[in-house]
Amino acid sequence: MGATTRRWLTAAAATMTALVLGAGTGQAAEKEPTGPVQPNILTAALYSLGAPTIAPPGANDWNCKPSDQHPNPVLLSNGTTANAYENWANLSQKLANAGYCVFAGNFGGAPGSFLQTVGPVADTTKALAAFGDKVLQATGAKKLDVVGHSQGGMNVRYWIKYLGGADKISRLVGLSPSNHGTDLFGLLSTLEMIPGVPAALGTVCQACNEQAVGSAFLTDLNAGGETVDGIQYTVIQTRYDDVVTPYTSAFLAPKPNVKNILLQNVCGLDFTDHLGITYDPVAEGLVLNALDPAHAKTPPCVPVPPVISGQIG
């Protein structure tokens, strides 16, 4: 056997060993493919039409080990209908640049589909919780910090209450979370009263029915207290939310471990809406502060338009 052949066999054996060990621990041998950073949710959605399963930039490096400064991996939880790339193709990279191990996945939709997070909230959250367990195993961390948008900020509370998340989550940061549901300016509440409409809506988006104000799901979720001790909760909401209405329904009941933040109290130039908030530079700064309050910085107060979100000029 020649030296070249021996080197090739040694390299092949090492590769196979790494793959086997990775499969046994739930780790991938390399980083997952990621897409580019996007300036707003519209460009991200257009990109993900052709690549709906691609990870957002800076996310899903299964070899990432948390630092002493940021010992908890950050798990991103998607909003209704959104896939991970569409929802997080800006904030994920900012979190990675700040030194966090960042992870995001697609749950609650058909595998490979552009539309995600539309199935029953309990089922979506079970898949998210399993993904969170995989993150903890791969990184060796003891707890997770979770950042969720819309449904993604609310459904983690189901994980905490019913799926053992209270022992695995340190911080929950919600961006326009649907904690008390929505009436869509009264439209959804009216439609829910029309015979046959809830059933029809449920065939395409069961999660939409469950997020209606007064739904059985939300009534059960919020019964007995909205939060648990030992977890730090931050809600970041915009006055101009056009999905979670009234906008105040995002806020959690006041407690020492709850911080409700209205964006316009931080920056009056911020006109971001529900869809744009995950790309809003002011909101992104508040997320970083919520994850690391010991090193909090005043977010930049810059003009932010609805939907396209990114800083003007």
pLDDT in the model for residue 292: 98
pLDDT in the model for residue 278: 97
Whether the upstream peptide bond of residue 246 has omega within 30° of 0, thus cis, is: yes
pLDDT in the model for residue 25: 35
The string of pLDDT tens digits covering residues 141-183 is 999 999 999 999 999 999 999 999 999 999 999 999 999 999 8
Helices (H), 225-309: 263-266, 281-291
Please identify every stretch of the chain with a pLDDT value under 70, giving residue numbers as ranges: 1-29, 185-203, 310-313
Tokens of 199: 């059933």
Tokens of 261: 């933040």
> What is d(CA 258, CA 228) in angstroms, rounded to the nearest whole number?
10
Total-model pTM: 0.87
> What is d(CA 246, CA 2) in angstroms, rounded to the nearest whole number?
74
Q: In a 3-state reduction of DSSP, which class is residue 279?
A: helix
Which residues, 6 or more positions from 57, have their beta carbon under 8 angstroms from its beta carbon? Answer: 34, 35, 36, 37, 89, 92, 93, 96
The string of pLDDT tens digits covering residues 73-113 is 999 999 999 999 999 999 999 999 999 999 999 999 999 99
> What is d(CA 16, CA 200) in angstroms, rounded to the nearest whole number?
49
How many CB atoms sit inside 10 A of residue 196's CB? 7
pLDDT in the model for residue 200: 58
pLDDT in the model for residue 231: 98
Half-sphere exposure of 257 (CA within 13 A, CB side): 12
> What is d(CA 8, CA 19) in angstroms, rounded to the nearest whole number?
17
pLDDT in the model for residue 188: 54
> What is d(CA 278, CA 173) in angstroms, rounded to the nearest whole number?
12
Q: CA quadruple 116, 122, 123, 127: dihedral positive or negative?
A: positive
> What is d(CA 166, CA 15) in angstroms, rounded to the nearest whole number?
38
